[in-house]
Amino acid sequence: MSEIIETTQKKKVLSCIQPSGMLTLGNYLGALKNWVAMQDEFDCTFAVADLHAITVRQEPAKLRAQIYSTYALLLALGIDPEKHTLFIQSHVPEHANLSWLLSCNTQFGEMSRMTQFKDKSAKHANNVNVGLFSYPVLMAADILLYKPDLVPVGADQKQHLEIARDIAIRFNNLYGDVFTIPDAYIPKTGARVMSLQDPTKKMSKSDDNLNSWVAILDSKDDIIRKFKRAVTDSEACVRFGAEKPGISNLMTIYSAITEKSIADIEKEFEGKGYGDFKLAVGESVADALAPIKTAYDEIIKDKKALEVLYKQGAQKAEYVARKTYFKAMKKVGFVL
């Protein structure tokens, strides 16, 4: 009697991040920390989404540096390019090519309803370009090229995944089975980190107030200083609640970093003032981010080694992307 060995194929996950400035503590706790953890469970494809960055005007030298920096930071965080695929979006031309194909199968009304277009148009009124309007189609191409089963999304990205699913379903119905319809992946852990100066807003690297956000690569002194200046309230009681957005935000951060429960944090700082708590949060964040900064400082020094890795990543990505793209082209009727 022969032995039957069952093999289970890992589900595919795709995650992309823009190189638009220094990544923050919010990016780390909300997404990037989970990217690292996902590598054991899933077959992962990670991309630096540099094409998306130019919907806003960029200074060329600064953009180039940010692309390098973001790629190096993903390596420093622990993304393994040997076991998974890590690449720069613009190095795989199928992204832009498939975007045109999908644009011709996307309705103007669908793009008009995208909330981020309205928000970004208001912020960049002097540059409301066609790319800003249609970039959700490029995002759909990013996703659909790699046929992922799951796409990690935050609350502000759900609409983009929904439109990608709608476009894929429409294309498949018109031309036959080409694209996998991806589902949203909600990580088991992940914190929504708010601004340190206005806890009603999400922490963002685009905030003009530098004290409102912590960069992953900030120095220990800067991190502790920013937390000491964090907005709280006058009650001086470490207690979680909707009426205490500032202190609740700090508790969320401390919980995500230390893995202590909110109840345990309240007990730990019972009878203590906000000064003690802010210092504890700042030090725990600085200690957690320090190894990442150390690794990053080494990686970014060696541009040749980085070049080898991102070229290898592009080759791996394009091998998959090209098959999907040419299948779509053939289904539409192009001569290949």
Q: Annotated active-site positions, please?
A: 120, 202, 205
Report the DSSP beta bridge partners of residue 16: 47
- The owner of tokens 């199968």 is 105
In order, the DSSP letters of 252-266 are: HHHHHHH---HHHHH
Residues 250, 232: contact at Cβ < 8 Å? yes
Q: How far apart are CA 325 and CA 99, in angstroms?
A: 10
Q: Which of 188, 186, 189, 185 is nearest to 256 (CA)?
A: 189
38/258 Cα distance (integer angstroms): 19
> Residue 102 CB: number of other CB atoms within 10 A?
24
The Cα–Cα gap between 200 and 46 comes to: 30
